[in-house]
Amino acid sequence: MLERYIEQQTAVFATLIDIRRNVKDIVTLSDDDIHNIEDIIKVLKPLKTATTLMCSQKHPTVSLIHPLKEMLLKQLEVCPNDSGLVSDVKQAISNDLKPRYSKDDTLSFLLNSSALDPRFKALSYIDAAARRNVYHSIGQNTVELHTILQSQVYY
């Protein structure tokens, strides 16, 4: 919506002038407001990309969730040259996003799913220790499943 307003700003202003006939009666956004909107659009762009990606797939997979979350959190890190508004927006979104999918069993499931997906199997977005733990967990689960299948007799 903000992006569309920026694109159509001159048309909106021209329409308001045409309707009101008096420029003094028209209240529009200031240059600072426009600059703030442009900054917010830049902050929200990765969220739009992630949403479009998840919605455009006919069958989105669970293996996308954790890599996308980590990518978003990385994009939302506050930079020293960010304005106060941009920092606040990034911080608010990050604070809302960080606790999602963070319970141990859910996180383990998401990481295992990502590790088994050929697109993300390298798990390059997490540290080496966590990556080893994920691969070790998958190995243990495989051994347990193999043991269970070996103990069952099929006739």
pLDDT in tens, 88-100: 999 999 999 999 9
Rounded to 10 degrees, the C-alpha dihedral 18/22/27/32 comes to 90
Q: How far apart are CA 2 and CA 7, in angstroms?
A: 9
Q: How far apart are CA 59 and CA 57, in angstroms?
A: 5
Tokens of 11: 């048309």
pLDDT in tens, 51-64: 988 888 787 788 99
Q: Which residues contact 6 (CB under 8 A, 6 or more apart)?
A: 34, 37, 38, 41
DSSP string, 83-140: -HHHHHHHHHHHHHHTTTT-SHHHHHHHHHHHHHSTTTTT-TTS-HHHHHHHHHHHHH
Whether this model's pTM surpasses 0.85: no
